[in-house]
């Protein structure tokens, strides 16, 4: 679905990839409803939009609040007249610890944001999207959704749930005008740790140094996601690391898992 003159909802629009998606969509001629629970961050996104700000609405919503999400479609329609697309981008990571040391509160928070928030948004907007002559849903999973990352096991489980949910949704909508895409970003240069409410990530500097491939800028990630949306891609692998590790995982999943473990084991608390 070409985004020009379409109305697109983007979650996590206050920072990172979400902010860049909002700005890139506006540059391509879309009208955008940016959703985030951080009002100040949404104001910053709106300021960065410059003259395109007239085509942007901002909505302070916690996507884990099902009632608030259920009310959101009418707010977007009131602002723009309709809704043609939804990009479920919002997501958080967990504290970088083994599952044995991870609190249930952190487990529930990650699952609520990454999976249930995405589910609530999809359920809320799908009836409206089905009424449009063309519509598109993009769900952002992760490289961690197909490859196990020690210290991010619950995060990976939530993103694996996004993968299967999106692929199932795609199959259910094959005979409709709604297209569905699942996205697998690799390492992206965002502040996901701080945006996830984590004060620090143990060994984050060492992790950056050991990467053979530098993190992709969020602007480039946003462009790849929108390009995939416009080409009605089934899957989009964002970054060379995501593409490469997807290939290795399909070829030899156990070897790929051991490779990532070797890369990450020094970052895990003893």
Q: Which fold has domain 7-267?
A: Rossmann fold (3.40.50)
User: CA-CA distances (angstroms) from residue 226 to 18, 26, 137, 187, 229?
Assistant: 11, 11, 11, 18, 5
Comparing 71 with 210, the larger pLDDT belongs to 71
Q: H or E stretch including 46?
A: helix 39-48
155 in active site: yes
- Average pLDDT estimate for 166-170: 98
Residue 268 clears pLDDT 50, i.e. is over it: yes
Residue 199 has pLDDT above 70, yes or no: no
pLDDT of residue 195: 52
Q: What is the pLDDT of residue 269?
A: 81
Over the chain, what is the mean pLDDT?
A: 92
For the chain, what percent of residues have pLDDT higher than 70? 91
pLDDT surpassing 70 at residue 206: no
Phi then psi for residue 158, to 5 deg, are -65, -40
Average pLDDT of span 53-66? 98
pLDDT at 266 over 90: no
Q: Evaluate if residue 143 carries a pLDDT over 50.
A: yes
DSSP line for 111-174? HIIIIIIHHHHHHHHHHHHTTSSSEEEEEE--GGGTS--TT-HHHHHHHHHHHHHHHHHHHHTT
Compute the distance between CA of residue 180 and CA of residue 64 in angstroms, rounded to an integer. 22
Evaluate if pTM is beyond 0.85. yes
Q: What is the average pLDDT across 119-142?
A: 98
Q: How far is CA 254 from the centre of its chain?
A: 26
Does residue 255 carry a pLDDT above 70? Answer: yes
Which candidate in 104, 116, 120, 155 is catalytic? 155
């Amino acid at each position: 679905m070409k985004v020009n003159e379409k109305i697109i909802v983007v979650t996590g629009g206050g920072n990172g990839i979400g902010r860049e998606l909002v700005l890139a969509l506006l540059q391509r001629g879309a009208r955008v409803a940016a959703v985030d629970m951080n009002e100040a961050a949404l104001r910053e996104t709106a300021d960065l939009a410059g003259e395109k700000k007239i085509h942007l609405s901002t909505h302070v919503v916690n996507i884990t609040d099902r009632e608030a999400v259920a009310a959101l479609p009418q707010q977007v329609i009131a602002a723009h007249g309709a809704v043609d697309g939804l990009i479920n981008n919002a997501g958080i990571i967990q504290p970088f610890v083994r599952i044995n040391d991870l609190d249930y509160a952190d487990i529930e928070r990650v699952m609520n944001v990454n999976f249930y928030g995405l589910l609530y948004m999809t359920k809320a907007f799908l009836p409206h999207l089905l009424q449009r002559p063309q519509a598109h849903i993009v769900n952002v999973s992760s490289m961690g959704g197909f490859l196990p990352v020690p210290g991010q096991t619950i995060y990976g489980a939530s993103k694996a749930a996004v993968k299967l949910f999106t692929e199932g949704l795609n199959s259910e909508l094959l005979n409709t005008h709604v297209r569905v895409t699942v996205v697998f970003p690799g390492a992206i240069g965002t502040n996901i740790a701080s945006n996830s409410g984590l004060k620090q990530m143990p060994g984050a500097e060492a992790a950056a140094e050991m990467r053979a491939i530098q993190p992709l800028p969020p602007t480039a990630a946003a462009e790849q996601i929108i390009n995939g949306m416009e080409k009605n891609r089934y899957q989009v692998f964002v970054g060379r690391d995501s593409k490469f590790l997807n290939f290795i995982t399909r070829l030899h999943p156990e070897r790929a898992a051991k490779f990532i473990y070797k890369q990450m084991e020094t970052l895990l608390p003893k």
